Structure formats: structure tokens, C-alpha cells
A and B are shown apart, each in its own frame.
Chain A
């Protein structure tokens, strides 16, 4: 047998991108379950549809770009984008909303920038933000938690956006939205006047806890380091706590901020996206802190129900700058010890 010439190392941990992606997909399952439990079949239908679309678009664009299809299709990155979108979009999304989001994510945000590893922005967030700006009504239709539709009803809604029996009763704005749009009242007044809010908050809390669990599993498997998510949650909690202390009736508490909306989903599945985030650990801390602060600001003063897409895209934009200023000191550069005075 001929001997080959290869560069070291000849050993490998056998970790693979596809394995990392599979872990990420598995870690979303608790959150997916919680979301389905509280909001019905919508998320599941969305997930299947988004995955189908993502793989289809990925294959198509790989073919058009003249790239090998199977290796990239099986690395799981397109599926991760699909999952994140399906989980982030409202359960009541119609088919075309998901189609727009997924196609824009995969084709424009990912492949037009050079495909996996080269995209400056998180593809799922780009698709999400596009839909949020273009179709604000559809993007804020969340199910009322006290009612669930049967699978058939949900299926019908998914394709036709109407259900026999009057769907309007089934939808409501998110807890965050309610809190924002009733600024005239204090939070306690809102809570007493709107029984849905308490229910919504509970559902939202459980969904967030489920994502937190999944995130901790990923942390345990060292899929990412703790820096970005912890920095983000800490800065968001800190800002919220500070303002809540000052004006408890105007600003929701830190725990409400941390356990509503897409906080945990973003913290562990989107902020941790290595491609569009900062590189070094110090950089990841800065990145996370930036996202946290932006989320608080946009949630408190912006006009959109949740702030993650914008906060993350803005920080994606700053990632190269952060990288420039957070370059770690290499071995031997720490101390200003005297340089060699010539070989001994």
C-alpha cells in the first residue's frame, strides 16, 4: 500500500458541523413542546413547512451556485435556520409568511453572502425582520392561550387564514404587546383589567424556561461558550431591574423581561450563532451585553412587540468592530518582561 503525505495533526476529535447542528436542533425540542402545548399545532405545522422550504431552497441555490449539494445539505445549517424561524414566527402564521421568511433567509441572507460561514447577519433574523416590517399584523397574531384549535382547524387556518367559527376570538397580541400598548395604565391596572395578560405571561414563562433548559444542554455539550448568552441575559436583567426599581408601574420587572417573548430562544439559539457574532470570548461578552441593552431599549421605547431581531442584527453589524477591539493577548504578549538579550 502506498504511503500518503498529509499535514499534521493526524488525529481528530471527530466533532462535525452536522453533529453540532443536530445537537442544536435537538435542544430546541423542549421549547417546541412547550410552545405547542400552549399555542396549539401551529408551530409544528410551521416547523415542517419551514424545514421543507429551507432544504428545498438550500438545494436549489447550491445547484445554481454550482456547489456540491449533499455535503452542504446534510450539514444541518439550513434546518437550523428553518427551526429558528418556525419557532420565532407566530403559531398563527399562514403558509406564505413562512415562505417569505425562509426564502429570504436562505437565498438572500445566507447564500448571496457566500453561504455557510460567510453571512454577516443571522439568516433567520434577517427573514424574521423582513416579515416583521412588511407584515406587522400577521407577525403579531398569537393564539389566545385559553383556547386551542384542533389540528384540522389549525391546518385550515394555515392555508386559508380563516376558520369556520370566527378565528378572531382565537388570536390575541402577546403579553409584551399588551404591556406596551397600555402605557396609560399602570402594569397592575393592566393586569387586573386584562385577564389574558396573566395567562399569556404564564405561557410565555414556561416556553422560556423550556428554551433555557435546551440552552443549558447545549452549554453542557460545549456547543458554545457561556459568554454571549450570559452577558445578554445579565445586561437585559440589569437594565430591566434598574428601571423597574425606579418606576415599578411603568417598567416590567427583570424576571418578566427574561421570561417573556423570545428572550431565552434568542439567548441560547440566536445570540450564540458563531457565524454572525463576535469571535473572541471577550468579544462575545461585548456582543451579548450589546444585544441585552438594545433589547431593553427597543422593547421599552420601540413600536414592535419584540426586539430581538433588530437587536441581534444591529449587533451583527457591529461584530467586526468588536472583533477588532477585543483581540485576545497571545501567549507571551501579556507581560512586558524584558526581551531576550541574545541567546545565552
Chain B
């Protein structure tokens, strides 16, 4: 006997299972029309591969899975495709969605099937392919594509089969286990084969003794020496059939927040799902039927029905003789987690386990709810170990982040809190609202984030472009330097731009030292030429000194090795510049030139000219022409005087003197 654990909280609603579990499963006659939503499962919507007017056979693929998490859909009976259009979906929102509508022809003619009588002879890959092709999804409620769970990458040591059926009223799994125990065990064996033979624990609540006996009997005749299968009878407590809760009861482990059972080495499948796996492999039949409970006091023939997927609720309710005048609340699913539907054309899908047509006083009356008194009954009941009343306050105050902080996302919406609430607050509705708003906020935040990223990307792009330009420029410079270096490589004496500059300076210096001698040798020069040359030499040395000074400052700043050498050059050049200047002045003195005096004379002339011009202008507009004219005359005289003085000074230039010998 496997040890059992308990999960936190839970409630004990009135079971009301006897209403529907007394009679064997009854097969419902073929309905005239079937409506098959393209999305009956978690994941991507399947894609229709038939067209209106086309004839399809029973079991023929009519919509194919799109992507990894998706499922195929098959025609549940033979007939013509009437339409592919929007129809009401089995969902609380009563939204419409794309459905394939089939008008059955009554022949119920099968397509060709490929049964595999001995699954152990088939490769794992082929088995997975068969199950995937058959469109098997979880039949307990969520409708997760089964094949995804069966090819878990993680090491699986326990396969949990969920036969708990903890919701009141529902008995479809109960009857299924009673009547199809052999097939369920065979289906489990296939799943074990695929998961490398983990042990299997079948969890059943102790309120289903017949099902427990049936499964144990089937087990006694079953032989699998590779892995064990055990029926675990668990206490009746809602929601023990919740995947996470059942795992905790059977293994004592909790699925980590945000994780999946495979993270703790467990795969969980519903009993109906393993039966569907059996049908898919051994009978070769795709998932086109299921067992659905019709119950509630308004149902005259309450019981379990084998129905084709796509059967309209109205057809099944009629067949079960439900008196629609007696009920105002039609629940699809159980009373704790099911949702109400208003359109009796809503089809039954792969996960529709129950239709509850309750009489008006059978279910909770629609009560005005009172204030929360924080009694804490909900906290005691919560199987997710949350603080439901705090979540309620947060949801009510629209403090969604706080709700999230209190782990709203871990709420499984089982309804235990609302069930116990003495103030009859529809707590789950508040949580759904808060979850929805959080989703909206998250998508808004996502959009905002996208715009922010887009903006930042643009800014970055602009900066990048700028930098790229800069980089290009630098690259060009480097390339040029490299070319330069290559050149230098040929001529190893030049290794450094600064050294090269230095070398150039030195070379020029030597050149210049030699040049005047050449000139002296070549031809005698006039005084003017010599004067000019001296002037130029002084200017050049000055310029060189300045340049070298700059280079020195640069080298010192960069702490270059050549700074010392440059310093010497600067010192030399300073002496040389002073020397050149001295020679120039000496020569000027020799010639009797006085540049200072000439400058002063030039200034005088310019001043006199300006005064004359000014007075001439003033004369044209002045009110006192007499006075201005006098001034003008005086100015003109001084202009002439200064011009003469300048001319005299300039003619003093000893142009006739013999060429000077350079020292």
C-alpha cells in the first residue's frame, strides 16, 4: 500500500453522485448535426483541411494540429461538411469560434483504421505518432495534448492516473472505470512503455467502491513484470482530483511554482485519457467519442452517455429527457468549477465531462453577498495555501500587484473558498477578474516595454551611426599610418612619426647650414638679397623653434621617450633663433637701416592720410566750411611732410653698396 499524504484545505460538498451513477453507460444515437470547434485543447487551434460540401468518413482527419502543442480533430461520423464558420464555444464567455459543422448521413461509415494489436512490438516513435495522430487530449478538463506529456525529456518515475473525480455530481469517470477497467489498464501499460516503465498510481476517491473493485480485478489478470500499477484509494475531499492536489496526496510532493509535474518526475493522466490512448493504439480509433454525465434534478434520465464529440448539448439534454422548464442554470462541468451555458447549440468537446441541469433550489441560490468579516474559513479551505480573503480585498480595491504578490497566479479556481464563505462572496469571480486585469496590465506593460525598446534602439542606432563614422575615420587614419609604417619598414631608420619629424628637422637644419655657403660660392648678392635672406632665415628659425616647442609639449604630455631629444633641439634652436635675429639686426645696423624708425614714419603717413580723408569728408557736410578748410590745409601739409620723411628714409637704403661677405 502506497503511503498517502494530505493536502492543505479542501471541502466536503454534498456528493450527489447517486443521481447519475446507477445505470450503465448509454450510447446516444447519432445526432443530425455535429459541431466541432477547431480549438478543443490547450495550445494552437487546429487548421481545417476539408471544405464545405466535402464528404467525410467517420474517423477521417478534418483539422490538423498546428505546432507542437495542438491536436488533430477527426470527423466523429460520416457525412457532408455543412460549413466552417463561427459558432458558440463551450466556454463561460459564450464567445464564438471557428467550427466545422458536419451534417451526418446516418451511415456512420468508418474510414480505414490501423489497429495495433500488440503495442510492445511497435517502436516508441510510432506509438507516439499514433497517439498524436489520433488527437488525444486530456479528458479531465484542461485538454492538454497527451502526446506532449508522454514524450517528457525529464526522467519520470511515477505515472499518476487521475480517477479521483472529486467534483460533486459528475460520474463519467466512475462509470468508465467500472465498465472499461481492462482498457484503462491496457492504456496505462502503453503510457508506461512510453515513459520507460515508471510505477503507476491510480488515485480514486473512496466514494467509488465499484470502480475500485473493477480496476483491482482488471489488475489481477494483468501481467507486466516491468512496472507496477497500484490502485490508491484516497479520502473523499474536494479538490483531490486537482492535478497538483492528487500528486501531493499520492507522493507528498508539490509541483514547484511555475513548474510542471515532470519537474518532480511525475506525469499525470486522466483515466479517460488513458482509455483514449488505448482506443487510439489498439483499436486504431481517433478520439471521437467520450462519456458525458447528464445529471441534476431536471434530468429525468440522469446517467452517463457515450456521445460523439461535437454533439450539441440540446440533443443530449433531449435524449436524457431534461425538462428545460425546470432549470434556469445549465452547467457544463461540475458544480464547483463548471461554467453556465445559455446556448443549447453549444457542442460537447473532448473535455466535456458533465452537463448539470439543476432544479432551481438544487444549487446555491443567487444571494446578495455580505461584507467580508475575514473569518478565515476560506484560508482553511484553500488547497493552494493562499489567503483568499486578502486576495479578495486586493481584487476589490484593484490592487492587482499586491494580489500577485500574494500569489494570485497559484489560485486553481477550485471554488473551495467561495463554497465556505459565510458572506457568500463570489470569490472566484473576483480572482478571475484580477487575473484578467493582470493579464491586460502585463500585455500593456509588454507593449510599453516594446515601445521603450524601440525608442532606445533608435537612439542607440543614431549613436552607433555616429560612432561608425568616427570609427571609419579612425580606420582610415590607421590605414594611412599602417601604410606609412610599411614604408618605414622598408627604411628602418624612420620608426616613429615624432622621430621622423625630428629627423626631418635635423636634415633641414643641416641643409640650411650648407645652403648659404653654396650661395656665397655661386654669385655675389645685392644688399637687398642678403637682407631678405637674413630676414627669412630669422623667420624660419623662429617658426622651427615654435614648432619644436609644440612637439616638445606634446611629447612631454604623452611622456614620449623622445622628449629629452626634443628638449635638446629646442635649446639649440633657441640659440640659433637668437643668433639669426642678432645677425639680422647687425646687418640692418650696418646698412643704416632702422626698422623702428621706418615703422614710426609709416604710422605718421597713415595718420596724416586718415586725417586728410576725414577732413575732406567733413568739409562736404560741415556747417563751418571755413574752419574745416583751414584744418584741411594744415593736415595736407603734415601729410606731405611725413610722406617726404618716409621717402627720404627709404631712399637712404644703401642699394649701391658692395655685396657683403658672409661670415
Measuring CB to CB, which residues of chain A are less than 8 angstroms from any residue of chain B? 1-17, 19-20, 71-72, 75, 77, 115-118, 222-225, 274-275, 277, 279-281, 284, 323, 327-344
Contact = CB atoms under 8 A, between A and B. Distances in A.
Interface string B423-444: 1101011001000000000000
Given A279-B389, A337-B256, A8 B328 contact: no
Nearest to A342: B153
B373 A3 contact: no
A10 B151 contact: no
B370 A9 contact: no
Contacts of B356: 10
B36 to A, nearest CB: 23
Interface string B81-121: 00000000000101000000000000000000000000000
B-side binding surface: helix, strand, loop or mixed? loop
B371 A339 contact: no
A342 B432 CA distance: 26
Nearest to B381: A13
Q: Interface size for chain B: under 10, 10 to 19, 20 to 34, or 35 or more residues?
A: 35 or more
Contacts of B389: 279
Interface of B: 8, 11, 13-14, 69, 92, 94, 148-149, 151-154, 168, 244, 248, 254-260, 262-264, 324-331, 333, 335-342, 356, 358, 363-364, 366, 368, 370-377, 379-380, 383-387, 389-390, 406-407, 410, 413, 415, 418-424, 426, 428-429, 432
A274 B341 CA distance: 37
A334 to B, nearest CB: 6
Given A274-B373, A327-B387, 19 more contacts: A1-B325, A3-B341, A4-B342, A7-B426, A7-B429, A8-B331, A11-B13, A11-B419, A15-B421, A17-B370, A17-B373, A19-B422, A275-B374, A279-B387, A331-B8, A331-B385, A332-B258, A339-B258, A344-B152
B383 A340 contact: no
Contacts of B329: 3-4, 6, 10
Contacts, number: 210
Contacts of B363: 10-12
A331 B364 contact: no
A340 B259 contact: yes
Given A14-B364, A275-B374, A332 B13 contact: no
Contacts of A339: 256, 258-259, 263
B154 A341 contact: yes
Q: Which 7 pairs of residues, A with B, have the shortest CB-CB distance?
A: A9-B415, A344-B152, A12-B364, A117-B371, A332-B257, A7-B429, A11-B335
A76 B388 CA distance: 23
Contacts of A340: 256, 258-260, 262-263
Nearest to B168: A11
13 contacts: A1-B324, A3-B340, A4-B328, A5-B92, A10-B329, A11-B364, A15-B422, A17-B370, A279-B389, A329-B385, A340-B260, A340-B263, A343-B148
Contacts of A277: 374
Contacts of B375: 17, 20, 223-224, 274
A339 B8 CA distance: 22
Contacts of B325: 1
A115 B390 CA distance: 18
A344 B259 contact: no
B254 A75 contact: no
A274 B376 contact: yes
A-side binding surface: helix, strand, loop or mixed? loop
A324 to B, nearest CB: 10
A330 B384 contact: yes
Nearest to B405: A327
Contacts of B14: 11
Nearest to A277: B374
Contacts of A337: 256, 259, 263-264
A330 B385 contact: yes
Nearest to B386: A330
Contacts of A333: 256-257, 407, 410
A215 to B, nearest CB: 16
* Most interface-central of A6, A71, A339 (chain B CB within 10 A): A6
Contact of B384 (A4, A10, A331): A331
* Most interface-central of A72, A284, A331, A343 (chain B CB within 10 A): A331
A118 B392 CA distance: 13
A284 B325 CA distance: 49
